Structure 1
Amino acid sequence: MTAPAPFTAGAANPFVLRRLLTTPVAGPLVALVLASVFFAIGTDQFLSGGNFSLILQQVMVVGTLAIGQTLIILTAGIDLSCGAVMAFGSILMARLAVHQGWPPLVAVLVGLLACGVFGLANGLLVRAVPLPPFIVTLGMLNVAFALTHIYSEEQTVTGLPGPLTALGRTFPLGNTDITYGSLVTVALFLGFAYALGSTAWGRHVYALGNSSESARLTGIRVNRLTVSVYVVAGLVYGIAALLLVSRTGVGDPQAGQTDNLDSITAVVLGGTSLFGGRGTVLGTFVGVLIVGVFRNGLQLMGVSSVYQTLVTGVLVILAVTVDQLSRKGTR
């Protein structure tokens, strides 16, 4: 009887390496590592627990928005209203708790519900009318922006009660202080990674993004599914609103004005295709970290914020170009 050939790591490595390199998150992960190495060489302050904690704090709000944005882009849509919806949710929570004297937890729930209603309106307009997601969410951006300024009376809300700022507090982890909000963001990424990768709802979202008509022919209720994606995204924006007031300690009507573009940037850098049907939430997390690392590293090196924006724009163009070329290569 012939003994089976012994397993050798070298024989398996080419297959494993090929699988790793063809995953959507591989390219963004390599970019993140290279950027980290570059800034570690360029500044002594980069490689420290405190700085890594700061990066997480700086990206937790946009990162949470990017989760909802990922869900919508996976369906071949886009959401330009997410930052404005988050701002409205944050002002609503703050004013109900401070000016109206509502219990903080009730104020938070109402804020979450309001953001979910915006998502519901977006989803219904996209599917029931139907209208292009770009037009719907562009209009909703203006609606949410106007309502935020009308309701807030252009005033920043201060003196928030403890429960609204609790996620902005820190706890020690070794010699580094970590915010509870950062843990919430990481938990959301892990939760939605599981939902998209291991549930029927997640598989249907990918099917919808690949081809709405094919998804319908397989028995997927595409209208209901689309609305559910926008509602879930809206609720995620509500969580981002809570993280925003927790981090800043105020309800600011001017908040979130460019966060919609930042969230799209993170999604694209994370390898999610703007054409739908391809990408992962964990890739978006890497994309968020790429944005955070570049801005943090350039700031530590004393580079002007204008050039930080320039670098981010170049990265987005490169990411979309790679996505377009890869799509042509698979046809």
Structure 2
Amino acid sequence: MNTFKRKLLNWSSFPSLVLIIALSVINSFLIPHFFSMSYISSFLTSYTPLIIVAMAQTFVLLGRGIDLSVGGIISLVNVIVVTLFGQGWSFPSAIAVGILAGIIIGVLNGIVIGFLRVTPLLATLATTSVAAGAALWIMPFPGGSVPIEYVMWYQSNVIGFLPTPLLFIIISILIWFIWKATPAGLQLYSMGRDIQKTYVSGVPVVWIQFYTYVSSGFISAIAAIALTGNTGAGDPLVGNTYTLFAVAAAVIGSVSLMGGSGDIFGAIFGAVFLGLAFSLIYAIQIPSTYQDLTSGVIVLLGIIGASLMKKRKRTFSFKPSHIKPIGGNQP
């Protein structure tokens, strides 16, 4: 039991888990039937895209990078799927092309950052403009639709009680476990801690960076497919808010912006915390003119709270009794 407790307290995602529990308790007093399966299903329907895109952002953050193009990818994939379906393509074919578009943006990021050595911030800032511009070119105004059967399926349950959006989350988690099961997972953490030493030790840093951005593009495309199931229509601006919220979710989940620390579950917890925060804002009926301010304050408090708990955990994990005096043991 003590071993389990120690592992839990030392888990990098533990602070964000505590924040989720605290905010869930607050929400339970303000939102009727908060812990019911119907509300949980509704919550996942709305916030699964954010959870998934936070996972996509985590891949590159662990390797000491950043991907500002995730929001642009969501918008691009969304309008591609809706537009192709409206032109008579089968829905599965439209989804395949949309996912391919997300992967292509990821490949472009990987080439520019990994092989051409351009700073990730500048490279992904450029590619998000490319993706967002392409989305506006394809669909200048919101519109179109997807099969109502897909929308109903996405907003329903599978196996009787599991919300369908969980399938999208599970697919993204499986991609993470594939990474963890290969040497690339360990190399990604090593690269995040010290990219120069990792490079000198013979690790193919360029290819690791390339694959992380491809993975980010692929997972962001999955988030877009989930979002399309929630909205049922196309919108070239739908992904604009997701980039910064994905970074915030990862940071709340104790994923370090400096790389090499954290995991995918922290990003999931951070995204759930943001979803709970937004639900709280709607529950207390804050006027729309103050909602951005309130959500920003809650996000800031979440980041500060996670950081303070992380520092406190480090303090407790430091045991001075293990340090022996230079002159020998004191009487």
Does structure 2 retain, via aligned residues, the 8 Å contact 1:104–1:164? no
The answer on 1:207 being equivalent to 2:190 is yes
Which of 271, 293, 298 is residue 276 of structure 2 equivalent to? 293
Q: Identify unmatched segments of 5+ residues in structure 1.
A: 1-11
Does structure 2 retain, via aligned residues, the 8 Å contact 1:46–1:300? no
Does structure 1 retain, via aligned residues, the 8 Å contact 2:189–2:259? yes
1:140-155, aligned counterparts within 5 Å? 140-152=127-139, 154-155=140-141
Please list the CA deviations of residues 270-290 of structure 1 after superposition, one character each: whole Å capped at 9, or x if unmatched.
111111111111111111111
Q: Count residues with an aligned counterpart.
A: 313
Q: Which residue of 2 aligns with 1:156?
A: 142
Which of 28, 44, 67 is residue 40 of structure 1 equivalent to? 28
1:129 and 1:172 mapped to 2: Cα distance?
Answer: 45
Does structure 2 retain, via aligned residues, the 8 Å contact 1:189–1:285? no
Taking only the aligned residue pairs, the percentage that are identical comes to 24
Please state how far the C-alpha of 1:43 moved relative to its aligned partner.
4.3
Please state how far the C-alpha of 1:299 moved relative to its aligned partner.
1.9
The answer on 1:129 being equivalent to 2:116 is yes
1:59-138, aligned counterparts within 5 Å? 59-99=47-87, 101-138=88-125
TM-score by length of 1: 0.86
Please state how far the C-alpha of 1:49 moved relative to its aligned partner.
2.3
Q: Which residue of 2 aligns with 1:168?
A: 154
CA RMSD in angstroms, aligned pairs only: 2.5
Does structure 1 retain, via aligned residues, the 8 Å contact 2:19–2:306? no
Partner of 2:258: helix, strand, or coil? coil
Distance 1:109 1:189, change over 3 A: closer
Does structure 1 retain, via aligned residues, the 8 Å contact 2:168–2:222? no
Which of 201, 204, 209 is residue 226 of structure 1 equivalent to? 209
1:243 and 1:267 mapped to 2: Cα distance?
Answer: 19
TM-score by length of 2: 0.86
Q: Which residue of 1 aligns with 2:173?
A: 190
Which of 256, 260, 275 is residue 258 of structure 2 equivalent to? 275
Distance 1:207 1:167, change over 3 A: farther
Partner of 1:102: helix, strand, or coil? coil
Partner of 2:186: helix, strand, or coil? helix
Q: Identify unmatched segments of 5+ residues in structure 2.
A: 319-331
Please state how far the C-alpha of 1:241 moved relative to its aligned partner.
1.5
1:37 and 1:28 mapped to 2: Cα distance?
Answer: 14
Please list the CA deviations of residues 210-268 of structure 1 after superposition, one character each: whole Å capped at 9, or x if unmatched.
12222223322111111111011111111112111111110111211111011111111
Please state how far the C-alpha of 1:51 moved relative to its aligned partner.
1.8
Please state how far the C-alpha of 1:319 moved relative to its aligned partner.
3.7
1:168 and 1:103 mapped to 2: Cα distance?
Answer: 17
Please state how far the C-alpha of 1:33 moved relative to its aligned partner.
1.0
1:40 and 1:299 mapped to 2: Cα distance?
Answer: 13
Please list the CA deviations of residues 60-95 of structure 1 after superposition, one character each: whole Å capped at 9, or x if unmatched.
011111111010101111111101111111111111
Please list the CA deviations of residues 91-116 of structure 1 after superposition, one character each: whole Å capped at 9, or x if unmatched.
111111212x2222222111111111
The answer on 1:23 being equivalent to 2:11 is yes
Question: What residue identity is the alignment partner of 2:249?
Answer: A
Distance 1:315 1:76, change over 3 A: same
1:326 and 1:138 mapped to 2: Cα distance?
Answer: 35
Please list the CA deviations of residues 127-157 of structure 1 after superposition, one character each: whole Å capped at 9, or x if unmatched.
22211111111111212111111121x1323
